[in-house]
Amino acid sequence: MKPLSVRTTALLCSMIALLSGCPRRSESSRDAGVSTAEGVQQEGARAVQCLAEEANGDLLIGIAPNETTTGPGVVVVEGYGVYRLPKGASSSVQIAQGLPKANVRAIVVTPSGALVAATMQGIFVSHDRGTSWKGAAGGDGLTAYGIAKLRSGRLLAATNRGLMRSADEGGTWSPVGEGRGEVNVVVEHPTAGVFAGTDKGVIRSADGDNPWEPVGLAKETVLALAVDAGGDLLAGTVASDTATGQSTPGVAVMDEMIGWKGGVFRYTPPSLAAAGSTSASATPPTGKKPAGPGSGKRTDPGSAGLDAGTALDSAVADVDGELEARWKPAGLQNTTIWAIATLPDGAILAASHSRGLNRWDPVGRKWDPVQGIGQKTPVATILVTSSGIWAGSVGGLFRSTDQGRSFVRATRE
């Protein structure tokens, strides 16, 4: 790598001062944002970390603690936990009694209406719509990043101690996943099992129980997973310094100096390819080819997944070679991807740390920044509901009613 100029070195140092490391493990809104002209956290805005919808249409908002320093060594937490935004309202109310003053990274609503929250200081459950919360048995002391509801009725939590499982709507938790280390996100595929993103790629289970097997991206830290309209698995990864391997949210301008990668990757699960199905995903971008996930027929033979009749166990065994080749870059490199969501019209939204919120257009076959959210605003979460598409950022909560093309601020706070 060629030596950096004085100007480049100064720029690099200033950027590093603004970026506090992977926001996934940050403890407050002070660590979640980037202070830029477009991305600075607005006064009074809540740093939204996760979203969920109750059966009555109320929105549940998990946030990072809003800390302010009022004097030497004096830090006041003005907002934390979970807020409820009643359907049709423009202001929310805090429902955090019993929750720790730590990031709330995921919320799920169980079939009985119980609320389960994954926080940076454990897993908590509420049986009274958030009026009070209690720590879940087996979930104390965990750093919990995400929770998935499986069709079987069980819950799977992604934590710093690996995968945790609950069969009683979040009341008690026990380990699963054979001690595979830190897990960041879990998603259930309609036909190909359950996938989890880890600090060393993606792992898969047929039903969320053991065994779990690696399915590629072994050199990537995977923070987001989603299934596109054609059944392909999309993975959002952490941008890192390719020279040192150090994880960082990433800034696109740095690519010329060191080489930040990350971005979105695409993979066709074996069960789909074996059945001879074709996905709606286009060939991922390589060089200047204008392609990515979300539309068109595949033209890249390396992206077609497993050939018909290929056994799943033989694919899993080939982690270092052929299996890795089945994951294809699908755009938005040089930034960390926090969340991915697929939309009813086949479009895809990707929430990033340093490039805001971007939308994959299945017709135009390209990524474009959405309107209404700053292109340098860190966006952490996306939720698709019948009342619109919601995006949570370091600058607050936003809503779209035009399939994610444009967003407006959803609350006054």
Interval 26-62: pLDDT, tens = 443 334 443 333 334 444 578 999 999 999 999 999 9
Phi, psi of 359, deg, nearest 5: -120, 130
- For residues 251 and 276, state if they share a domain: yes
- What does the pLDDT read at residue 90? 92
Domain carrying residue 163:
11-176+370-413
Q: What one-character DSSP code corresponds to residue 88?
A: T
Mean pLDDT check: name the lowest of 137-151, 249-263, 371-385. Answer: 249-263
- Cα torsion 267, 271, 272, 273: sign: positive
User: pLDDT confidence of 276, banded at 50, 70, 90?
Assistant: very low
Residue type for position 256 = E
- For residues 154 and 189, state if they share a domain: no
- For residues 197 and 157, state if they share a domain: no
Q: Tell whether 1 is covered by a domain.
A: no
- For residues 183 and 164, state if they share a domain: no
Q: Using alpha carbons only, how large is the chain's radius of gyration in Å?
A: 20
- For residues 252 and 277, state if they share a domain: yes
pTM for the model: 0.79
- For residues 377 and 389, state if they share a domain: yes
- Cα torsion 35, 36, 39, 44: sign: positive
Q: Tell whether 17 is covered by a domain.
A: yes
pLDDT over 90 (residue 277): no
- For residues 27 and 170, state if they share a domain: yes
- For residues 335 and 237, state if they share a domain: yes
CB 284 within 8 A of CB 302: no
Rounded to whole angstroms, the Cα distance separating 102 from 81 reads 7
Q: Tell whether 38 is covered by a domain.
A: yes
Phi, psi of 76, deg, nearest 5: -110, 130
Q: Tell whether 363 is covered by a domain.
A: no
- For residues 105 and 206, state if they share a domain: no
- For residues 220 and 187, state if they share a domain: yes
Rounded to whole angstroms, the Cα distance separating 66 from 30 reads 7
> How many domains are there within the chain?
2
pLDDT over 50 (residue 307): no
Q: Tell whether 4 is covered by a domain.
A: no
CB 124 within 8 A of CB 115: no
CATH code: domain of residue 149? 2.110.10
- What does the pLDDT read at residue 249? 45
- What does the pLDDT read at residue 271? 61
pLDDT over 80 (residue 278): no
Bridge partner residues of 198 (DSSP)? 183, 201
CB 408 within 8 A of CB 393: no
**In the listed set 344, 359, 391, which residue is the last one of a domain according to the structure?**
344
Mean pLDDT check: name the lowest of 112-116, 144-148, 236-240, 293-297. Answer: 293-297
Q: Per-residue pLDDT averaged across 119-134, rounded?
A: 96
- What does the pLDDT read at residue 364? 85
Token pair 């979460």: residue: 381
Rounded to whole angstroms, the Cα distance separating 320 from 306 reads 15
Tell which residue, 51, 41, 113, 105, has the closest CA to residue 78: 41
- Mean pLDDT of all residues belonging to the chain: 78
CB 78 within 8 A of CB 68: yes
Rounded to whole angstroms, the Cα distance separating 388 from 399 reads 6
Q: Tell whether 257 is covered by a domain.
A: yes
User: pLDDT confidence of 285, banded at 50, 70, 90?
Assistant: very low
Rounded to whole angstroms, the Cα distance separating 102 from 211 reads 32
- For residues 144 and 284, state if they share a domain: no
Q: Per-residue pLDDT averaged across 164-181, rounded?
A: 92
Q: Tell whether 164 is covered by a domain.
A: yes
Rounded to whole angstroms, the Cα distance separating 64 from 270 reads 38
- For residues 31 and 87, state if they share a domain: yes
Pairing relation of β-strands 348-352 and 104-109?
Answer: unpaired
Q: Tell whether 127 is covered by a domain.
A: yes
User: pLDDT confidence of 5, banded at 50, 70, 90?
Assistant: very low
**In the listed set 295, 327, 344, which residue is the last one of a domain according to the structure?**
344
